[in-house]
Structures are given as C-alpha cells and as structure tokens.
Amino acid sequence: MIVAIDGPSGAGKSTVAKAVAKKLGFSCLDTGAMYRSIAWLACERGIDLHDDETLGQIARQADIVFGHVDGDPIPKQVFIDGHDVTDAIRTKEIDKAVSPTSASPSVRAAMLDQQRRIALSGDYVIEGRDIGTVVFPDADVKVFLTASDEERAHRRLRQNVDRGVGSIDYEEILADLKRRDEYDSSREVAPLVAADDAVVMDSTDLYIEDVIEKICNLAKDAQ
C-alpha cells in the first residue's frame, strides 16, 4: 500500500509521515531529502544549478541511502555516495539550492525512477510534492497537507531549533517558505498541486495527533 502525503514546506509532512508509518508498521520515504541530497552534491561539485543535463547525470548516478539508528524502522540518516549528509542538507544554502535542482526535469526523472523502485519493497508512507499527482497517481491514500504561512514558519523554526541546524530567524524562515512555495508551484515539471482525488487537510488549527489519526483511518479504510 502507498500512502502519499504532499504539501508545501513546513506543513508538518515529515512529522506526520513518520508517525503514520510507525503506527501502520509501514516504511517511510522523505523525497524532499532526496532532492536536497542532489542539491548538496551539485554544490559540492560546483555544478551550475540550471544545467539540466549535468544535474541529470549526477542524479542518475547518485547512490542515495537512508540510514537507520538503533534498529528504528524510521530512517534518521541520509547518505549520498557514501557521504553522511543528514545535517548538511538542512542548511540555508541547501534550502536555496534545492529549488532550481528540483525544477530540473532530468533530476525529477531520475528521482521518480528511484522512488518507484524503492517503494516496490513494501508498504510505504511517502512524503513530497508530486507523490499523489506524478510518482504514484494510483496511491491507495492521498493527502494534501497544508497550514497557514505563519504556522508553517513557526513549525519550521521549532524543527530547526530541535535539529540544531538551519535558520532560527522567524522572518527569514517565513520568507524562504514563501519563496520555495512560489518556485515549487510555478515550475513546469510536477508543480506543487493537490491531486484531484486527494483529501486536503488544513492542519493550522488541528492537533498533529488528530491529523495522524485521520490519515491512519483513511489507510485502514483503504485496506
């Protein structure tokens, strides 16, 4: 079974996806981390972030692996070509570099292949921007998770403080979220948009536990 959770930055997708996966006993895939890893590799190699062909080459060859800590089924680490980039992909630089990287059609094609291959191995909760529209249009459950800009910025701020990485300036975070939403929504390939058959959930005034329970119930109903 595939549970697709799409939505803009900071809507709570990661927290919700991990909790839903844990409750259902599913694996969990953070596709944003995959795009961030490619952006990191491109920056490391000094590649022009608008050079679709070269970006596509590195994306097709890149070996992205999610690492588990202490037997936890939810991955906590990300490696690309053997480099542990768990923290390095959450910096302000990568927040900026990931927009042009993820707008590259060749990068998207490479990631789509990898994501479909990974999900062959079992039941998955997959979070991203285009999971219900492009990667798994036949997903059993599709959720589009949103929240107000301000609430999303507050959540991202708390997440950055907890992780000890990324900006801790509210105004800077809010501006970056808006910039990335605009970029993600207006790109030509796989823009951020709710699938016609997605359940849209605005989590601004909902407890995260209620969102998690609702999605688990949708998954149980679909089984």
> Under the rule (CB under 6 A), what is the footprint of ligand DC?
9, 31-32, 35-36, 98-99, 102, 128-130, 180, 184
d(CA 174, CA 88) in angstroms, rounded, equals: 21
Query: CB of residue 132 vs ligand DC: minimum separation in angstroms?
Result: 10
Residue type, 90: R
Nearer to ligand DC, 182 or 217 (CB): 182
Q: Which is nearer to ligand DC, 9 or 86 (CB)?
A: 9
Cβ 8 to ligand DC shortest distance, Å = 8
Pick 35 or 40: Cβ nearer ligand DC:
35
User: Minimum Å distance from CB 223 to ligand DC?
Assistant: 25
| Closer of 98 and 125 to ligand DC (Cβ) | 98
The first and second tokens of residue 31, run together, are: 């596709």
Nearer of residues 57 and 114 to ligand DC, judged by Cβ: 114
Q: How far is the CB of 54 from ligand DC (least distance, A)?
A: 18
Min dist. Cβ of residue 128 to ligand DC (A): 3
